[in-house]
Amino acid sequence: MTARLKIPFDNSFAQLPDQFYTRQDPVPVTAPRLIKVNEDLATLMGIDPDSLKTEDGVQMLAGNNVPDGASPLAMVYAGHQFGGWSPRLGDGRAILLGETVGIDGVRRDIHLKGSGRTPYSRGGDGRAWLGPVLREYIISEAMAALDIPTTRALAAVETGNKVLREEGPLPGAIITRVAQSHIRVGTFQYHYSRGDKDALRTLANYVIDRHYPEAKQAHPPYRTLIEMVMDRQARLIAKWMQVGFIHGVMNTDNMSVAGETIDFGPCAFMDTYHPGTVFSSIDHAGRYAWAKQPGIAQWNLSQFAQSLLPILHEEAQIAVGIGQETIDEFQDIFSNYYFEGFGKKLGLITLQPGDPDFIGDTLKLLSDNEVDFTLFFRHLTGFARSNLGQDQGTQEQNYKQKLQKLFKDPEAFNNWLPQWQSRQNQEKAPPEERLETMRTSNPIFIPRNHQVEAMIQAAVAGDYGPFERLHSILSAPFNEQPDNARYEQPPKPEEIVHATFCGT
C-alpha cells in the first residue's frame, strides 16, 4: 500500500457561479481509521484503490487533507420536508470534493458525508455516527447489486471522535459517497423561490449538459428536461417497489434529478408485505409508505416543473399549461414500468390486458395472508424452475410446501396457483427465458432491517465481521448461497426493528 494518492479530478459544478454553493474545506477529525474501500468502484472511477488505503488516502477520506485538484464546497438547496417548505437547506454535513470521469466515461461526484459543519448546518454538528454510515454503505451497495440506480459508497472511515445524539455519545464516522451528481429537485426550488431566473437557466442548462444532452436538440429543451427526469424517476420508483424498498424520506431535497436513489435515512426493505408499510418513525401519517411512493414522486416532480416555469415559456399561463400537461403523463409512464417489472417477477414476459388486475390481486393475496415479500417471489422462482424441469435437484412439491407455509391460509395459495399456471401457459417465450427473467427479477438476499441493525451493533462494539459478511452476501443477491441461507430469513418476533430514524 505504497501507492501515491492521486485523484483524477475533472470538476464542473465548481465552475458554476457562487450562488450555487459555498466554498469550504471539510472539518478535520482527530484519529481517522479506515473501515472499508470499495475497490471495484474506485477502479471504475480511475482511482487506484490501494492509494485510498494509504495514510494520505485515509486522511483525505476523513476530510483532514484536501487533495490536489479538489474544489471542496457545500451545495445549497431548499425543499419540502414531509410537505413543509424549508427555503434554505443545503449540505449541512457534507462536502463535495470534486468530480472524476471514470474509465467508463461516466462523470461522478466524490462527496464526504459527515465531514463537519457548513453554513447550512442549521444548528447541527455536521457529523454522522457510525450506524447510519454503515447502513448507507450496505444498502446503497446492495441497491447497486440489484441493478437499481443509486448513489454508491466509495469508502468509510471512523473519525476517532464521538458525536452526541439522543442515545448519548456515539462513535463518529464519514462515508465517501459517489453519485452522477448531487443536484436535487430542491436545488431548483431554492433558486425559484428566490426569483433568480438566470440561476434557474444556468442550472437547467448544466443538468442538460451533464445528464440529458439529448434534450439540447428539443424545443423547448426545458420541457424535455422535465420529461426525461420524470421518466428516470418513474423507472426508479418502480424498481424500488419491485424489491420491497421504502425510502422513508422522499422529500424534494432527497430526489436526485439524475434519477438515482439518494440520502439513505430511515429506509428499509419490507419483510411482511403490506402496501401501507412505513420505515420512518417520524412519518406518523404514512406519507412515505410503500404504496404512496409513486404519488409522492409525482408531487415532487410537480415542484420541479413549477421551479422551471420562469424558463418554460415567457407567458406564465402557457408555462403552467406546459408543466401541468407534462406532469400529468407521470402515472401512465410509472404504470408501464411498474406492471412490466412485476410481470417479470411472475414470469410474464409479454403483458396481456388482464395482467395488471392479476398482479394487483396477487399483491392483495400477499397482504391478506401476511406473506414475506421476498421469500414469496424467491420460492415461486424455485417452483417454476422445478415445475419446468430445469432443476433436477429440487422437487416441485418441496417449493410448493415452502410457498404454502408462507400463507396464513394455505388454501388461498392453492386457489391462486392454478391461475398463475394458466397464465404461464399462455406465454410464448421459451421456458428458459421466463426462468432467467424470474431469477434476475427476484433477489434471494436483501438487506433485511434486523440484519443491518445487528451488523451496526457489532461494529459499534468493534466487530466488523458481520459488516463484511453482509456486504459480501448482498453483492450477489440473485445467487444461491447455501452457507448463508439464514440471511434469507425474515426476523423472528424478538428481532423485529420497531423504530427507524434518520439517525445521522
Can you spell out the DSSP letters for 448-491?
Answer: -HHHHHHHHHHHHTT--HHHHHHHHHHTSTTS--GGGGGGGSPP
Contact at 8 Å (CB) between 333 and 230?
yes
253 is catalytic: yes
Higher pLDDT, 404 or 498: 404
Q: Is 70 exceeded by the pLDDT of residue 219?
A: yes
Mean predicted confidence (pLDDT) in 284-288:
82
Contact at 8 Å (CB) between 301 and 233?
yes
Closest CA to 295 of 247, 343, 231, 237: 237
Which residue's entry shows cell 435515512?
265
Active-site position among 91, 109, 253, 283: 253
Q: Is 50 exceeded by the pLDDT of residue 349?
A: yes
Q: How many CB atoms lie within 10 A of CB 67?
A: 18
pLDDT in tens, 450-496: 999 999 999 999 999 999 999 999 999 999 999 999 999 999 988 88
pLDDT in tens, 313-323: 999 999 999 99
Q: Is 70 exceeded by the pLDDT of residue 215?
A: yes
CA distance 451 to 57: 30
Q: Which amino acid does the sequence have at 434? A: R
pLDDT in tens, 384-393: 988 765 555 5
CA distance 145 to 142: 5
252-276 burial: b if 16+ Cβ within 10 Å, else e: bbbbbbbbbbbbbbbbbbbbbbbee
Mean predicted confidence (pLDDT) in 258-264:
96
- For the chain, what percent of residues have pLDDT higher than 90? 89
Mean predicted confidence (pLDDT) in 261-269:
92
Q: Which amino acid does the sequence have at 129? A: W
Residue 4 binned pLDDT confidence (cut-offs 50, 70, 90): low
Q: Is 50 exceeded by the pLDDT of residue 86?
A: yes
Residue 3 binned pLDDT confidence (cut-offs 50, 70, 90): very low
Q: How many CB atoms lie within 10 A of CB 106?
A: 11
pLDDT of residue 207: 98
pLDDT of residue 266: 86
- For the chain, what percent of residues have pLDDT higher than 70? 96
Closest CA to 229 of 247, 243, 210: 210
Contact at 8 Å (CB) between 156 and 227?
no
Q: Which amino acid does the sequence have at 406? A: L
pLDDT of residue 151: 98
pLDDT in tens, 424-447: 999 999 989 999 999 999 999 999
Burial class (CB in 10 A: 0-12, 13-18, 19+), 33: exposed
Q: Is 80 exceeded by the pLDDT of residue 498?
A: no
pLDDT of residue 394: 57
CA distance 136 to 130: 10
Among 10-24, 386-400, 488-502, name the one with the lowest average pLDDT.
386-400
Q: Which helix (H) or strand (E) holds 284?
A: none
Q: Where are the domains of the chain?
A: 13-179, 185-339, 348-439
Residue 395 binned pLDDT confidence (cut-offs 50, 70, 90): confident
